[in-house]
Amino acid sequence: MLLITGAAGFIGGNFVHHWFESSSEPVVVLDKLTYAGNAATIAAFLKPGHCELVQGDIGDRALVARLLNEHAPRALLHFAAESHVDRSIHGPGEFVQTNLVGTFGLLEEVRAYWTELSGEKRDSFRLLHVSTDEVYGSLSDTDPAFTETTPYSPNSPYSATKAGSDHLVRAYHHTYGIPTLTTNCSNNYGPYHFPEKLIPLMILNALDGKPLPVYGDGKNIRDWLYVRDHCEAIRQVLERGRPGETYNVGGKNEIRNIDVVTTICRKLDALRPRATGKYEDLITYVTDRPGHDRRYAIDPSKIEREIGWQPTETFASGIEKTVRWYLENDEWIAGVRSGAYRQWIQTQYGHESRGPGV
Ligand code: NAD
Ligand code: TYD
């Protein structure tokens, strides 16, 4: 079986969906269910012995030890993290705690568990650490894309704590021999994405007739990958990745933020036109994010060459699916528009209530 951390969140949740499309191997999810964790995302799969959700902190070492010893997983997939850059600017403490200290605790407990394994079980065990391209820092418009050998240069508390966790994972492989795999992926989008991130925020604000807040000049570039393609990359790296290696994952879809937003607006104009005017009329330029990275771009040559992975969605096909998903899943959306999320919107965007559902 697989032990998966953070699978009530966006990518981990999509991974569970993807996993059960082609496998019946059981899964145990360890998730703290923070504001970003939503049990509803994986509710359809929850059944004892098939997919179990344990609410808990990756930093709770006794709990992690118990889950490892009780379930004896063949792999641990580590998605759990604090993941939103803007939140890390307002409150870096949680990021240090979960991304860095939490990952350290997890590694220590994996080390204790793995050391006791023998033979085939020990050789075939994998710890797959899910990370981000943001650890490499910011590119200029003419710099080459990030490769696995690009020096780390994180600029936000989020990326710094992810970089630290990547280094710890690397060290646990080199020092203790734990068979680790690390993936560094570009920006994901797709179903079950929490509406604090650019794409779901824009879709839901537009539908609510609220301003679409574009930071700075809107010309920052991200390299967008449909989440299902990322999940497939993780599945393939788990099966075929070489222990101790890192793999960059990206879709060669570099797009300026303003172009992402106008694409969403035009999609919505076609699928659910406004009573008057166009969705683009809602675009509002707002104060830039402090230290805002200009451009991210992934060179996926290594994973293509060594693993044979290729993305299946273009940005055009992926954004179409994503917009349609948000138009068709009112219940899930209503579920996330509550509690801590409201407070966060207040802190981030002040009293103008630019966030969805507030
Ligand atoms: P997310 O914020 O949607 O989900 C994170 C999940 O982790 C939530 O379910 C949350 O409840 C859980 N969690 C947080 N702290 C925890 C703790 N201390 N113990 C247990 N569970 C905890 O994040 P995501 O977008 O799904 O990202 C998943 C992973 O992928 C992260 O490690 C992130 O750094 C990485 N990543 C994300 C992107 C992206 O575009 N979203 C791109 C590349 C890499
Ligand atoms: P985000 O989804 O937060 O991902 P990341 O910062 O990890 O890349 O943001 C994607 C891009 O969109 C980033 O350049 C910041 C920008 N952005 C806005 O312009 N407005 C917004 O309201 C948000 C949330 C992001």
C-beta of residue 135 within 8 angstroms of C-beta of residue 154: yes
Beta bridge partners, 53, equal 29
From ligand 1's centre to the CA of 9, what distance in Å? 6
pLDDT at 337: 81
For ligand 1, is residue 138 a contact (CB within 6 Å)?
Answer: no
How many Å lie between the centroid of ligand 2 and the Cα of residue 96?
A: 21
Tell me if 220 is assigned to some domain. no
Question: Is 21 inside any structural domain?
Answer: yes
Give the distance (Å) from ligand 2 centre to CA of residue 115: 41
- 336 - beta bridge partners? none
Identify whether 328 is part of a domain: no
- Which CATH number is 73's domain given? 3.40.50.720
Q: How far is it, in rounded angstroms, from Cα 231 to Cα 8?
A: 14
pLDDT value for 335: 83
Instruction: pLDDT tens for the chain, 358 residues: list them.
Output: 999 999 999 999 999 999 999 999 999 999 999 999 999 999 999 999 999 999 999 999 999 999 999 999 999 999 999 999 999 999 999 999 999 999 999 999 999 999 999 999 999 999 999 999 999 999 999 999 999 999 999 999 999 999 999 999 999 999 999 999 999 999 999 999 999 999 999 999 999 999 999 999 999 999 999 999 999 999 999 999 999 999 999 999 999 999 999 999 999 999 999 999 999 999 999 999 999 999 999 999 999 999 999 999 999 999 999 999 999 999 999 888 875 444 555 566 664 444 343 2
Q: Note the pLDDT of residue 190.
A: 98
Q: Does residue 204 sit within a domain?
A: no
Residue 23 in domain: yes
Look up the pTM and report it.
0.96
Please report whether residue 334 resides in a domain: no
Strand partners of residue 286:
215
What total of structural domains would you count in the chain? 1
Q: Is 102 in the pocket of ligand 1 (CB under 6 A)?
A: yes
Under 8 Å between Cβ of 17 and 43:
no
Residue 216 CA, closest ligand 2 atom number: 19
| Count of alpha carbons within 13 angstroms of residue 236, beta-carbon side | 19
Q: Which of 224, 107, 113, 109 is nearest to 166 (CA)?
A: 107
Signed CA dihedral, 171, 137, 140, 224: sign only: positive
| 8 close to ligand 1 (CB < 6 Angstrom) | yes
For residue 29, what is the enclosing H or E element? strand 27-31
- Catalytic site residue 133? yes
Closest CA to 226 of 328, 130, 312: 312
> Known catalytic residue: 158?
yes
The answer to the question of residue 221 being in a domain is no
Residue 201 lies in a domain: no
Query: 269 an active-site residue?
Result: no
What is the domain extent for residue 88? 2-189+227-250+296-312
